[in-house]
Structure 1
Amino acid sequence: MSVRLEGIDSVLLPTDGSDRALAGARRGTELAVATGADVHVLSVVDTSEAKPDSSALGRDEDEAVAAIDADADVAVDAVARMVRETAPALEVTTTAERGTPFRVIDSYVEAADIDLIAMGTKGRTGLERVTLGSVTENVLRTVAVPVCAVPLGAADTPLSSTQTETVLLPTDGSDGAAVAVDWGLELATVFDAMVHTLYSVDTSRFPSRTEPTELLSTLEDEGRAALEAVRERAVDAGVSVMGTVASGPPAKVILNYATENEIDLIVIGTHGRSGMTRHLLGSVTENVVRNADVPVVCVPMRGDDRRH
């Protein structure tokens, strides 16, 4: 029996018809199944880039625009069909709109009272990583709800109680990290997963004049306090947890830890809406999402947290 994640009533699956969008949609569907949420599928015709050349296409502009709209409908229908085949009991709403994708997604989140977005990111090309897709990146910077960013490499690894055994919760002790920890613990409960919590000792944050011994002691004390806060929350939630204080740049530490410990899901805090200061973890979240091989749930800190 699935455990319902408090406040997750609706999951949005944006799609552009690509393989990475389908990978995000699959993981988002599994989250909807686990939480009992409704699913919304959205495709956006990018009017900022879609400028049909009627002469080149051999048809007038109206026909060209109609073809683009039809492609959007096909993309939506493909994801909706996948959702219905995977979980026939889920309620599915489909929409195709025009506009700037990340702005349309943000508006849709507000209008439809969406609680979580799941979307794909760009994966690897050859031996080099590709930068985060511009739409996903802008969504991460804009929306006030968590975003599950799914790399193409995670396309064949389901989020389920049988497959999701470990959840990584990085923390820096900030309020933003605490919000993400609450989400991570609830997701760990849903999947009956073990929680790993991680604090990175990053000496670059402190003045060079600080004595090394004093600096290390300060950082380790800060890390232990942050991990203890997570442990206390985990005990209250009935979740098994192990904590680690590591050393190095936070993004690199998180990614290495995830690989070495076969982490299945990362839940990390990020910045809030524009005008709010980024926290330490918020400043590295985009690098973690760009380079992770597993889904990353990015949780913004905001004053209007609808879960509570």
Structure 2
Amino acid sequence: MSSMIQTIDSVLVPTDGSDSALAGAKRGIDLAAAVDAELHALSVVDTTDIENVPSILDSDATADDQAALEDAAEEAVEAVVATAQERAPDLEVTTAVERGTPFRRIDDYVDTAEIDVIAMGTKGRTGLKRVVLGSVTENVLRTVDVPVLAVPPAAVDGSLTPENTENVLLPTDGSEGAAAAVDWGVHLADVFDAMVHALYSADTSRLTMGTEPSTILSELEQTGETALEAVRERARASGVSVTGTVANGPPARVILDYADDKAVDLIVIGTHGRSGLERHLLGSVTENAVRGADVPVVCVPMAEYEADIEE
């Protein structure tokens, strides 16, 4: 397995002023403080909201609506600054308010400001149910080339600090896509002085008819042991404690059950693995893990990893 040393110099916190966005911001602040990175707070005035105002309204009303949205965006970034001053007074914070389609502006900002990690809540102002990702977060996860620390509504309380982060869950399928997540998982475990829990799911639910189940399970378990050994080697090289488990069952359920059983504080997972999905698809395992998790999930895109290897 190829590996590379990760560095986090800048963390982006997109915000719409909602409680969910602030929950994401708190974890982003914690992470930036832990690695001494610069924090960026970005609020995007969604121009589709303005464009959807009926044309029969006079221009003054439209201008008022636009001004109100821009004021709300300014308040949202200032709330992040205030939270940062409380949690990490020495943190350097850069704020920005932009106009456009939120996920596109976030993607552009990542490129121009050379952002290393994004931290955001999985539910925005739209008030979607917990089991549904917020549309902005979902689009960000599908388009950006950097890891996204996704913070679910259930993880509003707590913090991402060395004192409170003891167990990092690192699901792996042994693929090149998983290799990127392994590097990030080990690095974050090193940052927080936590233990890595490497986990491979031998999913027998997809057995082909006519195939001897015991033979398939044996092959899956062997693949799993190989995948876990790659994680162990990477962790040992960084001086990080590691434990490995081959479990049996549908991957997303195995991940969520393990996270509950072992009091996991953080999950680090690739946005797609062996299934060979296109870059802009999360992959059902990752998507279900993010939707069902009670703890923050770092989603690591394969595209970012491939670009670094090619350079």
Note whether the superposition's TM-score is higher than 0.5: yes
Give runs of aligned pairs for residues 1-308 of structure 1, distance below 5 A. 6-50=6-50, 51-52=52-53, 60-122=61-123, 129-271=130-272, 277=278, 282-302=283-303, 303-305=306-308
Measured in 2, the distance between the counterparts of 1:63 and 1:278 equals 40
Instruction: Check whether the contact 1:122–1:130 (CA below 8 A) recurs between aligned residues.
Output: no
Measured in 2, the distance between the counterparts of 1:174 and 1:16 equals 36
Measured in 1, the distance between the counterparts of 2:88 and 2:263 equals 28
Give the superposition deviation at 1:276: 6.0
SS at match of 2:185: helix
Note closer, same or farther for the CA distance 1:280–1:173 as it changes in structure 2 (3 Å cut). Answer: farther
Instruction: Check whether the contact 1:268–1:281 (CA below 8 A) recurs between aligned residues.
Output: no
| Contiguous gaps of at least 5 residues in structure 2 | none
Note closer, same or farther for the CA distance 1:53–1:86 as it changes in structure 2 (3 Å cut). Answer: farther
Measured in 1, the distance between the counterparts of 2:31 and 2:113 equals 18
* One-letter amino acid matched to 1:49: D
Measured in 2, the distance between the counterparts of 1:65 and 1:277 equals 37
Post-superposition Cα deviations, 1:139-192, rounded to whole Å, max 9, x if no partner, equal 000000000000122122111111000000000000111110111111111111
Measured in 2, the distance between the counterparts of 1:200 and 1:281 equals 18
Measured in 1, the distance between the counterparts of 2:99 and 2:62 equals 16
Measured in 1, the distance between the counterparts of 2:285 and 2:116 equals 23
**Farther off after superposition, 203-212 or 173-182:** 203-212
SS at match of 1:149: strand
Note closer, same or farther for the CA distance 1:216–1:280 as it changes in structure 2 (3 Å cut). Answer: farther
Measured in 2, the distance between the counterparts of 1:181 and 1:281 equals 17
* One-letter amino acid matched to 1:95: A
Instruction: Check whether the contact 1:45–1:98 (CA below 8 A) recurs between aligned residues.
Output: yes
Instruction: Check whether the contact 2:170–2:196 (CA below 8 A) recurs between aligned residues.
Output: yes
Post-superposition Cα deviations, 1:116-159, rounded to whole Å, max 9, x if no partner, equal 00000139xxxx74301111011000000000000122122111
* One-letter amino acid matched to 2:292: N
Note closer, same or farther for the CA distance 1:280–1:110 as it changes in structure 2 (3 Å cut). Answer: closer
* One-letter amino acid matched to 1:78: A
**Farther off after superposition, 65-74 or 12-21:** 65-74
Instruction: Check whether the contact 2:142–2:282 (CA below 8 A) recurs between aligned residues.
Output: no
| Contiguous gaps of at least 5 residues in structure 1 | none
Counting aligned pairs with the same residue, the percent is: 64
Give the superposition deviation at 1:243: 0.7
Instruction: Check whether the contact 1:201–1:219 (CA below 8 A) recurs between aligned residues.
Output: yes
* One-letter amino acid matched to 1:14: P
Note closer, same or farther for the CA distance 1:301–1:79 as it changes in structure 2 (3 Å cut). Answer: same
Post-superposition Cα deviations, 1:78-117, rounded to whole Å, max 9, x if no partner, equal 1112112322222111111111111110011001110000
Note closer, same or farther for the CA distance 1:281–1:141 as it changes in structure 2 (3 Å cut). Answer: closer
Instruction: Check whether the contact 1:54–1:64 (CA below 8 A) recurs between aligned residues.
Output: no
Note closer, same or farther for the CA distance 1:169–1:178 as it changes in structure 2 (3 Å cut). Answer: same
SS at match of 1:48: helix
For normalisation by structure 2, the TM-score amounts to 0.89
Give the superposition deviation at 1:203: 2.1
Aligned length: 297
Give the superposition deviation at 1:59: 5.4
Post-superposition Cα deviations, 1:19-46, rounded to whole Å, max 9, x if no partner, equal 0000000000000001111010000111
SS at match of 1:228: helix
Measured in 2, the distance between the counterparts of 1:279 and 1:52 equals 31
Note closer, same or farther for the CA distance 1:57–1:89 as it changes in structure 2 (3 Å cut). Answer: farther
- The alignment's C-alpha RMSD in Å is 2.5
